[in-house]
Amino acid sequence: MDWQRLIVSYLAGFVLLTVLLGLMAYMTWFERRVLARMQHRVGPNRTGPFGLLQPIADGIKLLAKEDIVPANADRLVFLVAPLLSFALAPLGAAVIPFGDTLQLFGIEIPLLVADINVAVLYVLALGSVGVYGIILGGYASGNRYSLLGALRSTAQVISYELVLGLSLVGVFILSGSLSLQDILREQQRMLVLGPLTLPNWYILSQPLAFALFLIAAVAETNRAPFDLPEAETELVAGYLTEYSGFRFSFYFLAEYINMIVVSLLAATLFLGGIDGPFADGVWWLALKALFFLFFYVWLRATLPRFRYDQLMGLAWKVLLPLALLNIGLTGLVRLWGIGAL
Amino acid sequence: MSLEVAVFSLLALVSVLGALGVVLARNPVHSAIGLVLSFLNVAAIYLVARAEFLAVVQVIVYAGAIIVLVVFVTMLVHPDDLPEFHGRRSLRLVTGLVLGAALLAEVAAAVLARGVRGAPGPWTDEVVAAVGGNTRALGQVLYVDYTLGIQLTALLLLAATIAAIALARPEAISDRVAAARRVLTISLAHPRGLDQPELPLALPGTQDGRVKAAGGGRPIVLARSADEFTEQPAWGEWRGR
């Protein structure tokens, strides 16, 4: 094993984690400001210019709060569950390519923390393990509302993860690879349709898969309108009810980091990632991811929460058959060589 | 190489500890957590052996789906409500030890007879690299060489799923359909089509399918299902028959 590469990887991971945490803090600010605009309010504007210091004030407040463990709780599990959620969230970003290579001190540093050849499946696996943070937190709280929230979350995440995975199969069929780098390389080619020359982004050849992925990703990150696990109006915040102080903030951090990672993934899988006009680079990826993050906030401001049976019905009766249809169609197109990909 | 051995040893140790936790924990949810820990470490061992696809599938299928279901069910059952095991503690201990020893002997015999390394197959490192990686090689074997087997297994699993759903239903489907037809919903709501035909039923206390309500002018309407009604209208909109 190559020690130098290992150390470079660790350092890159550390930098990425730091950047993600900073972004996450300002994502909360971004969400509150945009949401406020959409609801004809002002939003946080007192702490610093444009309320820019608000995330820091929030962080200090949460850290200073008392950490309460309910008497009825399964103590060890209750204490560990938020850490589990938080620890798994940023790992997904490790496989996102942020560029080609960077020359630094004579060492060639790939702008990618871990080059796994099943990168997309790795992200899906992280999502399926990430649900344990919510289930165990809900179970360990020793509270009926929390337990209900955890149960809902389990059923929801299992159902929507199926849709998420199946929606990506079309992309796998077209690119012939599970590696994000190969998928990206495939999208950097040009697609010539008569007089039009378009980038070969998969949003153009897989629009159905893109729509399914987007819907499933919102459900997978437990965001509105699919935020049933925490539905404050019926479950008094579900699995979060008994958490306070920094353990609560760990769940909060995990949710926002998950949103950022999913946005980066969506941008890489369907919008060509770092590919863009004028000059390829990480700024294009950031711009695309920002669009998805805005979309998340937009959804939250626009749509009311689903009813639970509607949520499950949507996954199993609408999205899943559509995903299977997409796989079948893509397979046929690939088999008959239409489009000469 | 020494680094790999060290990593493997750590993963194997934690995996075995997790497995011990499964057996020794008194709380079933704690057992499930131990099992997840063990599975995740086994997946990491696959990663060290450069079987990335197998590792990820291990996590998605075992840690992500099966154990989630186990936790799902055990969460609903309070540990105190679980039935006690039968027999005295010493008896259970002896049974466990004997069965465990038998299993261990079986595994040892298999390992000793075959040798740990086994005979090298056709998929050497060079062949795998020529195809383009482990995942591609696995796909080749599964979906080209053994397509028939995969299809048959899929069919079998589908049949098992359908059978499980059929068995889990409280009664046969035809009975349920018949029961659904018998259900009559009594509702105070506004009937969607006021000109709908009267029910061909003579229930006790009803006259041609309508019941006089005790107070007010609103009739209680018997309907075949709740779908025949719209949502309750504002009081002023009620026009009555």
Residue with tokens 């696959």, as numbered in its chain: B46
**Nearest-CB residue to A116 (from B4, B30, B52):** B52
Mean pLDDT over each residue of chain A, to the nearest integer: 80
Which residue is closest to A121 within chain B, CA to CA? B56
What pLDDT shows up at residue B103? 93
> Is residue B196 over pLDDT 80?
no
Per the model's pLDDT, the better-predicted residue between B150 and B209 turns out to be B150
In the predicted model, what is the mean pLDDT of residues A157-174?
A: 85
Confidence bin at B214 (pLDDT 50/70/90): very low
In this predicted structure, which of A175-179, B17-21, B40-44, B141-145 has the lowest mean pLDDT?
Answer: A175-179
Evaluate if pTM is beyond 0.80.
no
Judged by CB atoms closer than 8 Å, whether chains meet at A121 and B29 is answered as no
Q: Which of A132, A151, A169 to mutate to test the interface with B (most CBs of B within 10 A)?
A: A132
What pLDDT shows up at residue B14? 92
Q: How many CB pairs under 8 A join A and B?
A: 70
What pLDDT shows up at residue B87? 61
The predicted complex's ipTM stands at: 0.77
Rounded CA-CA distance A268/A286 in Å is 10
**A122 at the B interface (CB within 8 A)?**
yes
Judged by CB atoms closer than 8 Å, whether chains meet at B63 and A139 is answered as no
Which residue is closest to B75 within chain A, CA to CA? A139
Residues of A in contact with B63 (CB under 8 A): 125, 128-129
**A131 at the B interface (CB within 8 A)?**
yes
Judged by CB atoms closer than 8 Å, whether chains meet at B33 and A151 is answered as no
Q: Which of A136, A159, A239 to mutate to test the interface with B (most CBs of B within 10 A)?
A: A136
What pLDDT shows up at residue A81? 86
Judged by CB atoms closer than 8 Å, whether chains meet at B64 and A125 is answered as yes
> Is residue B232 over pLDDT 50?
no
Q: Give Dmax over CA atoms of chain A in angstroms.
A: 70
> Is residue B222 over pLDDT 70?
no
Confidence bin at B153 (pLDDT 50/70/90): very high
> Is residue B70 over pLDDT 60?
yes
In the predicted model, what is the mean pLDDT of residues A310-317?
A: 84
Per the model's pLDDT, the better-predicted residue between B4 and B179 turns out to be B4
Which residue is closest to B1 within chain A, CA to CA? A1
Per the model's pLDDT, the better-predicted residue between A321 and B48 turns out to be A321
Confidence bin at B160 (pLDDT 50/70/90): very high
Confidence bin at B174 (pLDDT 50/70/90): low
Judged by CB atoms closer than 8 Å, whether chains meet at B3 and A1 is answered as yes
> How many CA atoms lie less than 13 Å away from A77 in the CB half-sphere?
23
In the predicted model, what is the mean pLDDT of residues A137-164?
A: 81
Cβ-proximal residues to A143 (8 Å cutoff; 6+ apart), any chain: A70, A72, A241, A242
> Is residue B102 over pLDDT 90?
yes
Per the model's pLDDT, the better-predicted residue between B73 and A103 turns out to be B73
In this predicted structure, which of A70-74, A124-128, B73-77 has the lowest mean pLDDT?
Answer: B73-77
Q: What is the pLDDT of residues A36-89, one digit of tens each?
A: 888 888 878 787 787 788 888 888 888 888 877 787 777 788 888 888 888 888
Residues of A in contact with B40 (CB under 8 A): 129
Q: Percentage of residues in chain A with pLDDT exceeding 70?
A: 86
Residues of A in contact with B27 (CB under 8 A): 74
What pLDDT shows up at residue B159? 94
Which residue is closest to B76 within chain A, CA to CA? A147
Confidence bin at B17 (pLDDT 50/70/90): very high
In the predicted model, what is the mean pLDDT of residues A308-336?
A: 85
**Nearest-CB residue to B56 (from A77, A121, A147):** A121
Which residue is closest to A78 within chain B, CA to CA? B30
What pLDDT shows up at residue B16? 92
**A151 at the B interface (CB within 8 A)?**
yes
In the predicted model, what is the mean pLDDT of residues A315-339?
A: 83
What pLDDT shows up at residue B65? 80
What pLDDT shows up at residue B158? 93
Judged by CB atoms closer than 8 Å, whether chains meet at B36 and A116 is answered as no
Residue with tokens 């609103």, as numbered in its chain: B218
**Nearest-CB residue to B60 (from A124, A151, A178):** A124
CA distance A119 to chain B (A): 9
Confidence bin at B154 (pLDDT 50/70/90): very high
Q: Which of A117, A124, A145, A173 to mutate to test the interface with B (most CBs of B within 10 A)?
A: A117
CA distance A174 to chain B (A): 15
b/e sequence A152-173, b meaning 16+ C-beta within 10 Å: bbbbbbbbbbbbbbbbbbbbbb
